[in-house]
Chain A
Amino acid sequence: MSYAARLALPVALLAIWQIVTSIGWVEPFLMPSPLRVAETLYQLIASGQLLRHVGASFLRVSQGFSIAATTAFAIGLAMAVFPPVTRLADLLIQVLKPIPPIAWIPLAILWFGIGEQAKVFIIVLGAFFPILVSTVEALRQVDRRFVELARVLEVGRGDFVRKILIPSALPQIMTGLRLGFAYSWMCVVAAELIAASKGLGYLIMDGRELSQVDLVLAGMLTLGVVGKLSDDGLRVVERRLIRWRTTFAGY
């Protein structure tokens, strides 16, 4: 699809938004016009504030996400390769998994104070389970035929894991990683809404407290754009890793 076609819907929405606000259908303090939001965004960018907030959130997200991704992958792999690990960990995981990361915030503040650690902790919790679950699922679904092939060729466990198990699970693991990354952003905002002095969540909360809805919207918009861009980044990584697969692009 051409770029123009992809832009059509967002542009149309912006236009409607502009019209609705400029003819006075909605109160500006409830919903400022997109031009007003754009102006605020411009000021935030020009003053370097936006970069500071995005940078703070991004740093927390990348720390939390990396910790979550590496531990979830390692534990998931151990669970798939050594069944006793699954028996040991399964019940605990099933009980911890449904607890929303936000419910951990009080405990996180109690344990780590309102500093960086608490926020990273929440992100780790939020990203860990989607990555773990998709990793374990993906590894378990390895094609039996290739397991059989490895047996026929007397391939050792290390080679089997590296050359059959992980590559076969990679597409689904990447989906889990992207999901975990999206969760990381949700968690960082949630944590920053509650206690922070910088970050996009803080920016949004600040806007609300100052009754500056344009600031709130500018923060939300930035979140959307940053989230999309980072997902794009992960997609590029995914395509590099999974070159052999031709993806389905519509019927």
Chain B
Amino acid sequence: MSAPVDLRHVSKSFLGPGGIDTTVLTDVSLAVPSGGVTCIIGASGCGKSTLLRIIGGLERDYSGEASVGGRPIVGAGLDRGLVFQDHRLVPWMTVADNVAFALHRLSPTERRARVEAQLDLVGLTTSADAYPDQLSGGMAQRVALARALSHDPQVLLLDEPFGALDALTRLRMQDEVLRLRAARNVTMIVVTHDIEEAIYLGDQVVVLSDRPGRVVARMEVELPRPRDRADPVFVALRREIHHRFFTHH
């Protein structure tokens, strides 16, 4: 079986002001194994979101080949779930309606049942009728997760999903994501700029260089779960990534 997500020599540039092309990604090749968590880390502006948007089918004009489930990416689609850097809940829809928005292919009865199951999965049954403005940041991001998983995607793409959350909520959300991954057995790609988060979540960690982003390292993390952040192997790996890629001499 082909890898759920396969990128070959993907490059992307944007037309900047004054008609000047800025290259954002160069020659990124990446195979994401089925069922695992792949974390992509890199400095701000190195093209992480752009890479994820290419996989999500939201960016079109790139060079190289990108495929999901063995088929070339032609656009966005329900085979991929996307959790944006902002939670992107629709403010005029209740929590339940936000989740239901992804389920337009189901019959009303099935949809209601699925919404309920999804909210139950992230522990937000009691907030079904709340509007996004009434949620805390962590709750909103959990609804976004519930929505992205609701349509049973093959691949879940998460773009710094916890970037806006406080440190404690962040730790809890990381476990939440791992729990959801186990429950749904979905392949995940998580973009982050937090080395510790990448090692905690990832089966593999892919490091991108500063802009224009290219893959400078790919590491397997073979620590058993649940992982201990104080484990010597964990700490050593964190230090290694930090020294090799994020310390400027």
Interface size on A, residues (CB 8 A): 20
A155 near B101 (CB under 8 angstroms)?
yes
The distance from the CB of B29 to the nearest CB of chain A, in whole angstroms, is 24
Using Cβ atoms and an 8 Å threshold, which residues of chain B touch A1?
A: none
In the complex, per-residue mask of B73-114: 1 if CB is within 8 Å of any chain A CB, else 0: 001111010101010101111000000011010000000000
B131 near A156 (CB under 8 angstroms)?
no
The reply to whether the CB of A244 lies closer than 8 angstroms to some CB of chain B is: yes
Using Cβ atoms and an 8 Å threshold, which residues of chain A touch B151?
A: 153
Instruction: Determine which residue in A156, A170, A244 has the highest number of CB atoms from chain B within 10 A of its CB, and name it.
Output: A244
A167 near B92 (CB under 8 angstroms)?
yes
The reply to whether the CB of A208 lies closer than 8 angstroms to some CB of chain B is: no
Cα A71 to Cα B44 with chains together (Å) = 49
The reply to whether the CB of B21 lies closer than 8 angstroms to some CB of chain A is: no
Known: A145-B86, A246-B133. A153 touches B91 (CB 8 A): no
Using CB atoms, name the residue of chain B closest to A166: B92
Which residues of A are in contact with B by a Cβ distance under 8 Å?
Answer: 145-146, 148-149, 151-156, 159, 163-164, 167-168, 170, 242, 244-246
The distance from the CB of A247 to the nearest CB of chain B, in whole angstroms, is 12
A244 near B76 (CB under 8 angstroms)?
no
Supplied contacts A151-B76, A155-B101, 9 more A-B pairs, CB within 8 Å = A145-B88, A146-B90, A148-B58, A151-B57, A152-B77, A170-B92, A244-B91, A244-B133, A245-B91
The distance from the CB of B106 to the nearest CB of chain A, in whole angstroms, is 13
Closest 5 CB pairs of A and B: A167-B92, A244-B92, A152-B76, A151-B76, A153-B102
B78 near A146 (CB under 8 angstroms)?
no
Cα A152 to Cα B58 with chains together (Å) = 8
The distance from the CB of A115 to the nearest CB of chain B, in whole angstroms, is 43
Cα A168 to Cα B92 with chains together (Å) = 8
The distance from the CB of A99 to the nearest CB of chain B, in whole angstroms, is 36
Using Cβ atoms and an 8 Å threshold, which residues of chain B touch A170?
A: 92
Cα A244 to Cα B223 with chains together (Å) = 46
Using Cβ atoms and an 8 Å threshold, which residues of chain A touch B82?
A: 152
Cα A151 to Cα B57 with chains together (Å) = 9
A159 near B104 (CB under 8 angstroms)?
yes
Instruction: Determine which residue in A153, A156, A164 has the highest number of CB atoms from chain B within 10 A of its CB, and name it.
Output: A153
